[in-house]
Every structure is written in structure tokens, then in C-alpha cells.
Homo-oligomer: A and B are copies of this chain.
Amino acid sequence: MIPNGQSVESVLASHGVKPTPQRMVIAEYLLNTLDHPTAEEVLDAVSGKLPVALSRATVYNTLNSLKEAGVVREVLAEPGKVRYDANLSNHHHFIDVKTGQIIDVPAEKVEKLGKLLDKKFKVHGVQVTFFGDLQQDESEQT
């Protein structure tokens, strides 16, 4: 989601991303949806919103640029495809196993991994993944 009041252009600028027309429409789309679209879905959604054609390669290039710049995060929810999330607030995800729908869950809701979500979320499993740096040393494992 786009920080209140900020323009798409200023979001890109503040992350050091040069605002080309293609990047603008892609970022605008991502910053204004609650969905977690794939590259293909981004392409479908924004092609036509631009006077010129928008190529698949550019969508992939742009998504990678936005990811590197920290404007979007990758979400690995299903095997074989990457989804993108421009919600920069601290949050997690709930995935409906039936439909594949992905719903943002604010970090505050994840205080205790017990009784944490709304009753409407029947949790079958939780997968917590930490990303970080491992200090190599001689002592034992986790």
C-alpha cells in the first residue's frame, strides 16, 4: 500500500528508482492493490494503461528493480511462481489453502502463535521463515 499522500513518483524517487513510464504504471498498480500479483498478473493488469506496448521482459526487469530497491517484497506462497507485495508495513500472510487467496496479517496480530487470528482463519499450518546472516563460528547448531 502506498504511504498516505505520497505520490508513486516520490515513492520511487525515495528508493532511488528512476521513474520511467513503464515503472510508473507497474508501481502504481502494485502500490494500490491488496492482491499479491505474479509478474503475469501485473502484465495483464497494466498493459493498455500505457500508450506503448509493455513487454514481459520489462515487467520482470521492473519487478526485480523494485524488489532490489525495497519498494516491493517477494512472496513465495506457491511453488513455481513469485508474487509481489508492496505493503511495506510489518506484516505476514495468511493463505487460504482452498483458493490460494493471500491476505495480509499485521505483525501485531502475531504476538502469540496460539490464539492469534480472527476466528474466521482456521490455521492448518504456519511457516515462519527468517532471512538473515549466519555468523560462522565453531560452536554447535541451533
**B141 with A103: CB separation less than 8 A:** yes
A41 at the interface (CB under 8 A from B): no
Interface 9-mer from A18-26, A43-51, A119-127? A119-127
Across-interface contacts of A123 in B (CB, < 8 A): 130-132
CB distance from A35 to the nearest CB of B (A): 12
**B120 with A135: CB separation less than 8 A:** yes
**A130 with B135: CB separation less than 8 A:** no
CB distance from A22 to the nearest CB of B (A): 22
16 A-B pairs besides A92-B126, A98-B133, A127-B130 with CB distance below 8 A are A74-B79, A93-B127, A93-B130, A96-B132, A96-B133, A96-B134, A97-B131, A107-B113, A111-B113, A117-B130, A120-B139, A122-B132, A122-B133, A122-B134, A126-B130, A127-B131
Q: Name A residues whose Cβ lies closer than 8 Å to a Cβ of B.
A: 34, 74-80, 82, 92-99, 101, 103-107, 109-111, 113, 117-135, 137, 139, 141-142
